[in-house]
Amino acid sequence: MAQLAAASRRPPHGAPGAVLDGQGVNRAAFTQLAKDVVIDGLTIQNFVAPQDQGVVNHDSGDGWVIQDNTIEKNGGAGMMAGSRQRIIGNCLRDNRVPWSPAGSASRARAPIA
């Protein structure tokens, strides 16, 4: 699957068991500078974001709500944060930020592993 271009106020809501799988090839799951996007109820896995970049909200769009997702097994940060972003009830695990000590991010743009 290729990356999805997020659109303002159009929530991708996953059915139970919905999985977005980057298959170790795709760099980001959700991109664009769209505002007020809702990402809800998905498993997002196996994407390979480049250094200092994230898989969800790749472009740090404003006002995103990232809720009730499992974001796992990605190369790079699990998500990036834009202003007014809300992160609610997600499970982030086994995301790798290899350029950061101990696999956690401490960069200026605040990627979230």
Domain membership of residue 105 as a residue range: 1-113
Phi-psi domain of 107 (left: phi exceeds 0; alpha: psi -120 through 50; beta: other): beta
Question: In whole numbers, what is the pLDDT of the chain averaged over residues?
Answer: 81
- Judged against a pLDDT cut of 60, whether residue 87 lies above it is answered with yes
Q: Which has the higher per-residue pLDDT, 3 or 18?
A: 18
Q: What's the number of domains the chain is made of? A: 1
∠ Cα 79 109 51 (to 5°): 70
Rounded Cα distance between 99 and 77, Å, is 11
**Identity (one letter) of the amino acid at 100?**
S
Give percent of the chain with pLDDT exceeding 90. 59
Looking at the DSSP assignment, which residues form a beta bridge with residue 86?
Answer: 65
Question: Which three-class secondary structure state does DSSP give residue 105?
Answer: coil
- pLDDT at position 108 is 42
Average pLDDT over residues 36-56: 92
Rounded Cα distance between 70 and 44, Å, is 6
